[in-house]
Structure 1
Amino acid sequence: MASVIQFVGAGPGDPELITVKGKRLLEAADVIVYAGSLVNPALLGYAKEGAEIFNSASMTLQEVLDVMAPAAQAGREVVRLHTGDPSIYGAIQEQMDALDGVGVSYEVVPGVSSFLATAAALKQEYTLPDVSQTVIVTRMEGRTPVPQKEKLASLASHQATMCIFLSVHMIQDVVDELIAGGYAPETPIAVVQRASWPDQRILRGRLNDIAAKAAEEGVDRTAMIVVGHCLDKEYELSRLYAPEFGHMFREAKK
């Protein structure tokens, strides 16, 4: 009887940040195909003895499918282990569509994205009252293009909190686009490299100096860029806990 392939979000790096469900599936897997360029290899310590493990960093899409599909059709438990949450820059849609084409079933187990681990590292709430109630998750255009309406300069016009993936190697271009879109050069910005890993590093600055800081520290990959006035630490207190603000769980106090 065929089994169901499990696409599992491994979390941002810390092996303890995989979900309980993801860990259970990983422990039971007969075949594991993991994104070796980003997934912490320590997670493979959860694999059972005898599990077949494949690093997809050196594989093509077809090679990945040629491992997963026959194993699932043979009734073996298969985990496709992606970094963070697989729905964000995970390239899983093409895998799922291909599996649909050959009649192989699959499920997706969400994970903790690196933009959330970055907020934890910064000890920062992205959605502050009277500052920003919107978080934009995006990337700078590189070898992979972005739609015209999603250029950084266009998104910057909203002045929302922005979490920018896969772009730290082009940080000066990122800064130029953000300023062109309306952010002032003094807007606060943070760069977090390898959030939740033991060698995590945090750089803080302003748009007009962060590129130099990143170059000086040699931060040019595996880092999240966060920009926005939520980093200013000036905001209105939430109405949720204000004594005069009543709701279904608490009456307003006069």
Structure 2
Amino acid sequence: MDIATILGVVIAIGSILGGQALEGGHVGSVLQLTAFIIVMGGTIGACCVQNPLSVVLKSISMVSLALTNPPHDVKGTITQILDLANVSRKQGLLALEGKIKDLHDPFFKKGIQLIVDGTDPKLLQEILEIEVEHHEEEGVHAAKVWEAAGGYAPTVGILGAVLGLIHVMENLADPSKLGGGIAVAFVATVYGVGAANLFFLPIGNKMKFKLKEEAGLRTMVIMGLVGLAQGENPRLLQEKLESFLPPHERSKEDKK
């Protein structure tokens, strides 16, 4: 679980509701089903108009990326690559075939399989880089759906406010109906601006950040696999791969 995301949501909602309470207001006054339907329905509809349905569904399925911390064990991956480099140096590249079943990362596994199949190192690099680029592009498109929602929500909130005021104007002769219309007008604006700036835009940006992080790890894996395919010296390969680590996590020899 990504503690920063969960903590941020709790702090944001808690601060708003806490401020409302300090001003003498009630939580119930900002809970308006009509305003919620207008803002969320309008925003979702606008996103569906802008994007293909497959991309919208992908963006929903990728919310978990913003809420969790996918395991990115860079140091462990480097160790794995170096172990395989030592095996191939002693027993040849075909010996790596027996190690494939022990790998859990599909991307890493695919790269090793390509090496065992005798793929040229340059072609290996091209194939894996295309896959990384495609995966990241797919994820960025999904993240942009959330960014688009962050752009539409405040505008739809204003539409909700206008609709509420129209309802008020239609019932000026009946004071008992004025409160509900005014409430919808102001709460719709709060929902639109709040949802955009507290949820939609932050989620989109968090997804982009994690996609970039994942792409960085895969770039390192590609560098390691190409070195493996070329029969590069494991010590030199270690030097290259550890450049992806913070200085304090590198091997003692590398720090000197």
Q: Could you tell me the TM-score, scaled by structure 1's length?
A: 0.20
Larger Rg: 2
Which has a greater percent of helix?
Answer: 2
**Structure possessing the higher relative contact order (Cα contacts under 8 Å, 6 or more residues apart):** 2
Q: TM-score, normalised by structure 2?
A: 0.20
